Amino acid sequence: MVHVRPGSSRAWLAIVLACLGACGGSSEQPQASAAPSVRELLKLPAHFSEPAIPDYNPLTAEKIALGRRLFYEKRLSGNQTQSCGSCHVQRLAFADGKTTPSGSTGDVLLRNSQGLANVAYYATHAWGNNVLLELEDQIHVPIESDNPIELGVLDGNRQDVLSRFESDETYRRLFSAAFPETGSAVSVKRIIFALASFCRTFISGDSPYDRYYQGDKTALTDQQIRGLLLFNSERGECFHCHNGINFSISYRDIHTTPGTIIFPFFNNGLYNIGGDGSYPPGNQGIYELTQDPFDRGLFRPQGLRNVALTAPYMHDGSIATLRDVVLHYARGGRLIESGPYAGDGRLSPLKSGLIRGFEATDSDIDDLVSFLESLTDQSFVENPDLSNPFVPDAP
């Protein structure tokens, strides 16, 4: 308590100071606001867990902002003609609608451009690679691969590519904010870290299916509900490879312990060249890495989010429509009657035991296709935070 003499000229000052001290008022310095959480940065829906993010590349708003610009930046390719966004188009759920894409110098790639919805949750990254465990591992491939060339940042032009960003005032500012410990220094590693951070924001969880899952029983039609039940039945078998929030068993999140991570790859009977289970040369899944004959045709099961937007399908884009995909699985493997890839995939000795085929009427096929269409998240493909910053009003 502060004691003052009545009438003292210092009385009012003493009273004010006493009140401020008692209330903990403005004499204290303002506290810095806490950094946004991962959930906030990714804008995760309530039914999604946090993805696993490597400690060496913590998520920040500044890296995301830099990564968004780099994702659509054609100066990131050696000849300045392509960006990541050239093969991953937002309105197509970050696929490209092509059988297989071409790189910046015209090299035709062997594998279909994947949609990138919820890419942060995969246990491995790429169609047929069992060693790319983080987005940071995968992203360097399209940037620096020389066979085939994609963006084409190679030994002969790498410094020229980096200098494009070092000499740009906007990029110097963005790199400095994203990596304050290194100032505005530009490197391929920091480009990859920023791109990985942006790609982790590709969160899709607002489809009609999601609304149905969260309790809105009017969100799906009767046909889509029938398709959902068949999808999750032992007759259809779909759920064995396509389940969880990403509709793929290739999944991990912040709660997944290292010893329990599943790294699934399956032969789905797409080819059976020569009757021994072979796929087309040079495009046989993880066999290309392991050279183990039993690994021929092993590819990662894709997530099915927005699958109606990501045609054509399979690792090589060789199936045109969702209906044809469902018919392939109902048959238990694809029959190619003539040509260099002739063979009956249903009879492949390497085909997964889960691809058994099932009896299905035309109505059953229609139901499954309709359910798969319910996985389309319109808010995802129209999300302005994911759009091309160089194009007004994109996507």
- CA 94 to chain centroid, in Å, comes to 9
Which domain range does residue 53 map to?
39-204
Quote the number of domains for the chain.
Answer: 2
On whether the CB atoms of residues 117 and 202 are closer than 8 A, the answer is yes
CA distance 11 to 6: 7
Whether residue 29 lies inside any domain: the answer is: no
160 in a structural domain: yes
Distance of CA 243 to the CA centre of its chain: 16
CB atoms within 10 A of CB 300: 26
One domain for residues 197 and 225? no
HSE-CB at 357 with a 13 A cutoff on CA atoms is 14
220 and 297 both lie in a single domain: yes
> Domain containing 193 — which CATH number?
1.10.760.10
Structure tokens at 103: 């790189």
**Both 181 and 257 in a single domain?**
no
Q: Are residues 152 and 289 in the same domain?
A: no
Q: How many beta carbons lie within 10 A of that of residue 99, not counting itself?
A: 17
340 with 365, same domain?
yes
Which pLDDT score, from 0 to 100, does residue 21 have?
A: 43
Q: Tokens standing for 238? A: 């779909």
| H or E element, residue 344 | strand 343-344
11 inside domain: no
Give how far the C-alpha of residue 61 lies from the chain's centroid of Cα atoms, to the nearest Å.
18
The answer to whether position 220 is within a domain reads yes
| Same-domain check for residues 74 and 62 | yes
Structure tokens at 14: 């003493």
| In a shared domain, residues 190 and 293 | no
Tell me whether residue 384 is in a domain: no
Residue 17 falls within a domain, yes or no?
Answer: no
CA 143 and chain centroid, separation: 17
Do residues 43 and 182 share a domain? yes
Angstrom distance (rounded) from CA 128 to CA 141: 13
**Same domain, yes or no, for 184 and 128?**
yes
- Report d(CA 53, CA 391) in Å as an integer: 30
Parallel, antiparallel, or unpaired: how do β-strands 343-344 and 335-336 relate?
A: antiparallel
DSSP labels, 194-214: HHHHHHTT-----SHHHHHHT
Token code pair at residue 23: 């209330």
Helix (H, G, I), strand (E, B) or coil at 50: coil
Q: What pLDDT does residue 22 have?
A: 41
Contact of 133 with 146, CB cutoff 8 Å: no
**pLDDT tens for each residue of the chain, 395 residues long:** 333 333 333 433 343 334 334 444 444 555 556 789 999 999 999 999 999 999 999 999 999 999 999 999 999 999 999 999 999 999 999 999 999 999 999 999 999 999 999 999 999 999 999 999 999 999 999 999 999 999 999 999 999 999 999 999 999 999 999 999 988 899 999 999 999 999 999 999 999 999 999 999 999 999 999 999 999 999 999 999 999 999 999 999 999 998 889 999 999 999 999 999 999 999 999 999 999 999 999 999 999 999 999 999 999 999 999 999 999 999 999 999 999 999 999 999 999 999 999 999 999 999 999 999 999 999 999 999 999 999 977 66
Phi/psi at 136 (5° precision):
-60, -35
Q: Return the HEC string of 114-178.
A: CCCCCHHHCCCCCCCCCCCCCHHHHHHHHHHCECCECCCCCCCCHHHHHHHHHCCHHHHHHHHHH
> Based on the domain organization, do 152 and 222 belong to the same domain?
no
Name the amino acid, one letter, at 386: L
Asked if 133 and 234 sit in the same domain, the reply is: no
Amino acid at 126: A
**Sequence-ordered list of residues with C-beta below 8 angstroms from that of 348, at least 6 positions apart, any chain:** 267, 269, 271, 272, 277, 297, 333
Final residue belonging to a domain, choices 175, 204, 233: 204
Which residues contact residue 153 at a Cβ distance below 8 angstroms, ignoring those fewer than 6 apart?
76, 77, 78, 143, 144, 161, 188
Cβ 12 vs Cβ 27: under 8 Å: no
Cα radius of gyration rounded to whole Å, the chain: 26
Q: Which of 169, 204, 239 is the last residue of a domain?
A: 204
Residue 182 forms part of a structural domain: yes
Same domain flag for 215 and 333: yes
Give this prediction's pTM. Answer: 0.90
- Rounded to whole angstroms, the Cα distance separating 274 from 343 reads 6
Torsion of CA 191, 313, 213, 361, to 10 degrees: 180
The answer as to whether 172 is a domain residue is yes
